[in-house]
């Protein structure tokens, strides 16, 4: 006996089984390939495939619930990839430190050539565009707003660094993240304790998510800045 | 008028073919080729999400795919410059 909500469209019901089977096949291929590979970076890339299988299976639900579950899944996958790639790089650096015969090139970077853009738009526009992006992101709130505001922060960090000026320090990211979690949890609790304040709790959760995503994207900007920091 | 199920099954086909290509395709011992092959499967998932009307999920998938590709390229390039076996 399968309970189907009445508002699921008829077309989605026929798409349910193929999507589930496709997700299972993709997940099986991904996990088999992970089992057969030894190098860590290949395993990290293949983890993407398992994430795609997760999206398949969740999206087969076909309602708003699926959408609400896919968003955090994607964001967690992104954070996980970021963390594991940093761990891999750090471990390789430790190996080189223990074995100094292998010489390490002084600077390694995302951009093969020196990245010193000398365009006028990089010196005049970023303040205004970053301000507009952050303002619009705060207006949007939620996940989308966080992405837009984070884009503004990244743009500001990148363009200021290309000019060679000191840029704002994003050291307090951990604190901002904690505040965001608190807002989110308070909103969630209020939603159950006092349902008549649903608008307030919705906005608490949305602002928490905004801070969270914006600080995550800003963190990526910080990492990129470290790469660009060369003559 | 194109039937929606054509797009749906094409998305599934692309996802499965892309994942096979990522796992055992030609030239995947180069991690950059492997990363590019992941994009094929990702496009397949995008088509499936399009059929389900999951607009926000589709946009988020596109955004995170771009960022993940950037992160992976950074990791690959750094590891190669340090002389690790990739």
Residue A215: pLDDT above 80? Answer: no
Query: CA A44: distance to chain centroid?
Result: 16
Write the pLDDT tens digit of every residue in B51-68: 888 888 888 888 888 888
For residues A144-159, give the mean pLDDT.
Answer: 76
Average pLDDT over residues A203-231: 71
pLDDT of B19 > 90? The answer is: yes
Instruction: Give A105's DSSP letter.
Output: P
**From the list B20, B54, B59, which residue is nearest A59 (CB)?**
B54
As a whole number of angstroms, the distance between CA B41 and CA B22 comes to: 8
Among chain A residues, the shortest Cα distance to B49 is held by: A59
Query: Which DSSP category does A109 fall into?
Result: -
- Band of the pLDDT at A224, cuts 50, 70, 90? low
Write a three-state SS string for A137-201: HHHHCHHHHHHHHHHHHHHHHHHHHHHCCCCCCCCCHHHHHHHHHHHHHHHHHHHHHCHHHHHHH
Which range is most confident: A13-27, A76-90, A122-136?
A13-27
Residue A20 DSSP one-character state = H
CA atoms within 13 A on the CB side of A80: 13
B54: which DSSP letter? -
With the C-alpha atoms ordered A127, A148, A198, A175, is the resulting torsion angle positive or negative? Answer: negative
| Torsion sign (Cα): A17, A20, A26, A31 | negative
The pLDDT value given to residue A165: 47
Indicate which of A10, A13, A16, A55 best probes the interface with B, i.e. most B CBs within 10 Å of its own CB: A55
Q: Which residue has the higher pLDDT, A176 or B75?
A: B75
- pLDDT tens, position by position, A62-74: 888 888 888 888 8
Please report where in the chains the tokens 């608008």 appear, as a residue: A199
- The token pair that represents A181 in the structure block: 């979690």
Question: pLDDT, tens digit, for every residue of A3-61?
Answer: 777 777 777 888 888 899 999 999 999 999 999 888 888 999 999 899 999 999 999 88
* Token reading at B76: 């690959």
Q: Are A52 and A26 in contact (CB under 8 A)?
A: yes
Q: Do A44 and B75 touch (CB under 8 A)?
A: yes
From the number of C-beta atoms within 10 Å of its C-beta (0-12, 13-18, 19+), residue A179 rates as middle
Residue with tokens 């590891």: B79
pLDDT, tens digit (0-9, with 9 covering 90-100), for A104-119: 555 555 554 455 556 6
Residue B30 in contact with partner chain A when CB distance is under 8 A:
no
CB B72 within 8 A of CB B35: yes
Burial bucket for residue A80 (CB in 10 Å: 0-12, 13-18, 19+): middle
Of the candidates A12, A74, A85, which has its C-beta nearest B64's C-beta? A74
Residues A122-154 as b/e (b if ≥16 CB within 10 A, e otherwise) read eeeebeebbeebbeebbebbbbbbbbbbbbbbb
- Asked whether the beta carbons of residue A29 and residue B20 sit closer than 8 angstroms, the reply is yes
CA distance A137 to A55: 26
A152 at interface of B, judged by CB pairs closer than 8 A: no
Contact B64 A18 (CB under 8 A): no
Of A229, A205, A216, A88, give the one whose Cα is nearest residue A151: A216
Let me know: does A15 contact A60? Beta carbons within 8 Å. yes
Contact residues, chain B, for A42 at CB < 8 Å: 31, 34, 86
What is the C-alpha separation between B79 and A104, in angstroms, rounded?
11
Higher pLDDT, A76 or A174: A76
Query: Given a cut of 70, is residue A223 above it in pLDDT?
Result: no
> What CA–CA distance (Å, rounded) separates A183 from A207?
7
């Amino acid at each position: 006996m399968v309970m189907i909500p009445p508002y699921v469209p008829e077309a989605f019901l026929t798409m349910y089984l193929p999507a589930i089977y496709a997700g299972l096949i993709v997940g099986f291929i991904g996990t088999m390939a992970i089992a057969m590979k030894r190098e860590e970076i290949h395993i990290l890339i293949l983890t993407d495939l398992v994430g795609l299988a997760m999206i398949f299976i969740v999206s087969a639900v076909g309602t708003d619930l699926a959408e609400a579950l896919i968003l955090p899944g994607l964001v967690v996958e992104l954070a996980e990839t970021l963390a594991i790639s940093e761990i891999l790089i750090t471990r390789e650096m430790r190996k080189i430190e223990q074995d100094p015969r292998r010489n390490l090139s002084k600077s390694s970077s995302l951009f093969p050539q020196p990245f010193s853009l000398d365009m006028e738009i990089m010196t005049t526009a970023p303040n205004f565009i970053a301000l507009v992006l952050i303002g619009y992101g705060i207006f949007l709130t939620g996940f989308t707003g966080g992405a837009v505001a984070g884009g503004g922060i990244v743009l500001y960090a990148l363009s200021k660094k290309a000019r060679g000026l000191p840029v704002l320090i994003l050291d307090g990211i951990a604190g901002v993240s904690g505040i965001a979690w608190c807002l989110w949890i308070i909103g969630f609790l209020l939603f159950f304790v006092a349902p008549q304040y649903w608008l307030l709790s919705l906005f608490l959760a949305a602002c928490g998510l905004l801070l969270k995503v914006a600080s995550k994207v800003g963190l990526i900007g910080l990492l990129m800045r470290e790469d660009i920091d060369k003559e | 008028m194109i039937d929606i199920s054509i797009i749906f099954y094409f998305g599934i086909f692309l996802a499965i073919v892309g994942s096979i290509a990522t796992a055992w395709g030609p030239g995947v011992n180069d991690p950059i080729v492997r990363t590019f092959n992941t994009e094929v499967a990702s496009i397949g998932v995008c088509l499936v999400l399009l059929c389900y009307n999951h607009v926000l999920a589709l946009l988020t998938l596109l955004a995170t795919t771009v960022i993940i590709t950037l992160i992976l390229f950074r990791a690959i390039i750094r590891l190669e410059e340090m002389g690790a076996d990739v």
